[in-house]
Structure 1
């Protein structure tokens, strides 16, 4: 028997995906979005300033979206997404070496966020029992008389306060997190891990006279701790490319890349000149879009006694370093986990077990990010136990991925959230790590 209504706070990617995932189990699903409806499909909403930048899905995200929206990949390709082989078409300079490139059979898609989000919203809107309500700000949770269960929300729309009832409320309101603020007003604290990274993104679109013939996406990653600025050039729809500069520890000054010449000049300062050389032939098609991530954080809602009937997901739980492209894929995996949980149990009771499942999805990605972000000396935050040993081991994996196909393929599966990190600790891999010559590592570090 279907439950009456689910309410989702926030209409971003996580909210849309979760709505689609749970729609078979409710008579009605309402997505409440505080921003007004965009004027057209290419408009970036105020609430998602990161939408100007590169959005390539990880393999786990691609697989999850195909499960949520059958035909997703074929449809996106028809709309202009570029299908690539993740190893053959990706030129990745990482920790001073180029990763191997060969036909792997691991496809993924390149596109702009508006193209991706517009398609997902259309698929959501095709689901009869999902209602997308723009311009609606949630003011408070509604609780049962004994205060033990969330039974809806109080909202402000067109200067009027209304009450919306729901059997289940899911907070995907983003990094500000409505639930966090609501709990703090009651004197409750959500345990939080926070790491200051001082990240700044700068992005422009370009048209090239001819697309590059030897890659579809090129990543020049800084070699920490000496280098802090990296860049990516990715082909996108309409025969254009997106170029993004990312600088850690406030090393990328937005004023210096505001105009076209300043932006191109900054690409010349990357560890390699490849992107700069491509842009010499290109024409800028946009202004510079800036997106800042002063810190990343993980709020441990799984450690909080939340009222029954309430789940927190998406960026409301974890704002992760966007350089690693994990955010949307994590949201898709969370959507599937919520769907499976609701399919097997009642969502009207305590959902602590589900909240813990969402934390388990985040944990490996969070550790991967910390391992890399803490390579920059001035990054501040709580370091996980054994970090130095983990960083040493992972760096050997990075170096080996420049010459060992098997290890690189395993690395891709782990970083794309398809396989657990244990895959990188197979006996054969450990032997190869220990065999790596000390002078090879020192050569990269010099």
Structure 2
């Protein structure tokens, strides 16, 4: 085997031609692609190479010689070290513009499709928007204290954060207090993570504990909860072990005012991270699906009923299908809570990723006029043939990963004669490279 070529010590001057999907600048040195952390498209920079790969190299900016007009000063003092954000140095309007461009490129390259209409990107508040998050916790003996925050960029270490600008301020401005709280516990080295869950108002913090807290620890935690108004829960084992501390239990809900719907959820249920954007997304999905009073609607991967219940306010009947039993139970309870009877809205449990031999889906034997799907990252390829066979005339597809949306869009257009009538990016996660989008298909 040939000896690995040493990294050059001297920085190289480079022109950045574009941004990669994870928000790094792209340039070419001697014909080889280099991905540059901290660089923006159109900039001239000096780059220090940090890693060589067979097909590409990696580097970081040491000096900006000519800055992009879209470059801004990051709001967060920890930007660059903390892995929670990748794009704070890019103006918010340029961030979502970049995401829309990535969506167009991926739809064309993977799906060989382009929409008839590009939707205006959906945007909401850029700061303090995160109401769901998983924060790492680590006691660092060398520093003699506990760190609470996201992981460092490109590492498993917990970043040393004083505050976080993208978390809701109820938690984002209290990271130091949280670190001090855990540092004062006898089990400070046995708290693995903190999960944050928030609806419209109260905040729950679930502490993942590897050992049981002492009575003194419990008193400490309760006093902190009472002082801050945060509700503390403990998770000693699996997800079903999550329990509130005495007196800390709270009901979590969020409202969708345009549909007059309120959804209740458990702290570790899946809910959208960005509540304000979720409201805009539900309203836009409903306006594009445009259900009429006589329509039968199918909602796959329906979760708690985030789209199902608003749809049920307008359509004749709606069927929500979800794989997780707990979510199905809570979706049914949410329908009841909102005065929607079982004639109008039903929920079924079904594994939508089942192998072909096990796909005994009751929904696939029915006919529907409209459908909405909101699958996880792996997309919805498994359900598309059965979905098309239900006779739907229109489909709204909510996507959290453009690659699988593009693959599925190609399949719907080529195999089932749908047209991609509209698509657009949604800024669910500002300052990160994460791209959510919405696509509308018609027969």
Higher RCO, 1 vs 2 (CA within 8 Å, ≥6 residues apart)? 1
The structure that is helix-richer by fraction is 1
Superposition TM-score tier, normalisation by shorter sequence:
under 0.3
After TM superposition, the score normalised by the length of structure 1 is: 0.24
After TM superposition, the score normalised by the length of structure 2 is: 0.24
Higher Cα radius of gyration: 2
